[in-house]
Structure formats: structure tokens, C-alpha cells
């Protein structure tokens, strides 16, 4: 690390960032009307007890979970920009889509395949749509 570089790698910052990301995720999950099983799948399938602990007292999350949250937050933000009509973005997530990436499935179905790559694919698709 070069002199003068600022880092957010302290445990307190990691926990604070994780808490903020989880709070946003749970708000998105409510908007998308996701059940607990769907939420857990999007978060990387933590143990059920771990998931409910995260809801009560967010810890510093593992890098894989933070990456997942980053993709989900970007997906949500992109949808809000692309579909600003109230509720349209939230409905789009569950609607069948004929885009080649989705082949008649909804974006949520693709995201629930469970791999980080599936979240990334939806994020990349929406990034491209937004950038036109």
C-alpha cells in the first residue's frame, strides 16, 4: 500500500458496510416480495440460523456474500433507472422475459440458480440496457 492510501478494511468498517448492504438487501427483498428461501438463495445459501442472525445483528460478511449483495444492489438500481414508474421495476424481476439471456424465464428465476455468475449476468444485461 502506498503512503497516504486510505483503506476501509478495519473490522468496524467491514461490519458497518455489511450492515448497510444487508439492510438495503432486505428492503429490496420486501419490494420484490421474496420469501426467506429465495432471500437465502440470493445470499449464497447460508444456514437458516445464520440467515436469521444476519437479519437481527449483521456481522462482517464474507467476500462472496458482499459480491452477491453488490450485484443485487446494482440490479435494483438499474431497474429503478430503466423502469421509473412505481412498481414497474419490482414487477419486471418476476415477469417472464424473452431476452436471449432469459429465454422466457424471469430474471428472478435466473438469479435463483444460485451462482454469483447468474447475478452477474443479470447485472451485466441491465448495465447494457441502461447504457443503450
Q: What would the DSSP string read from start to end of 82-121?
A: H--STTHHHHHHHS---STTTTTS-HHHHHTT--HHHHHH
- Domain-embedded: residue 6: no
pLDDT of residue 11: 67
Q: Is the pTM for the entire model greater than 0.85?
A: yes
Q: What pLDDT, on a 0 to 100 scale, did the predictor assign at position 119?
A: 98
Cell of 101: 439471456
The predicted pLDDT at position 6 comes to 38
Q: Which residues contact 37 (CB under 8 A, 6 or more apart)?
A: none
Q: Is 55 helix (H, G, I), strand (E, B) or coil?
A: helix
Residue 5 lies in a domain: no
Inside any domain, residue 112? yes
pLDDT tens digits for the chain (132 residues)?
444 433 455 667 878 899 999 999 999 999 999 999 999 999 999 999 999 999 999 999 999 999 999 999 999 999 999 999 989 999 999 999 999 999 999 999 999 999 999 999 999 999 999 987
Task: Give the residue numbers spanning the domain of 76.
Answer: 11-131
Count of the separate structural domains present in the chain = 1
Amino acid at each position: 500500500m502506498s503512503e497516504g492510501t486510505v483503506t476501509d478494511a478495519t473490522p468496524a468498517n467491514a461490519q458497518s458496510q455489511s450492515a448497510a448492504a444487508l439492510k438495503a438487501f432486505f428492503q429490496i427483498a420486501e419490494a420484490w416480495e421474496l420469501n426467506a428461501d429465495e432471500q437465502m438463495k440470493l445470499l449464497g445459501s447460508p444456514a437458516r440460523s445464520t440467515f436469521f442472525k444476519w437479519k437481527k445483528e449483521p456481522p462482517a460478511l464474507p467476500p462472496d456474500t458482499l459480491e452477491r449483495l453488490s450485484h443485487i444492489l446494482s440490479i435494483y438500481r438499474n431497474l429503478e433507472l430503466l423502469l421509473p414508474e412505481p412498481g414497474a421495476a419490482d414487477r419486471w424481476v418476476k415477469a417472464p422475459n424473452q431476452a436471449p439471456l432469459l429465454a422466457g424465464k424471469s430474471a428472478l428465476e435466473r438469479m435463483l440458480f444460485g451462482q454469483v455468475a447468474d447475478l452477474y449476468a443479470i447485472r451485466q444485461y441491465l448495465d447494457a440496457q441502461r447504457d443503450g
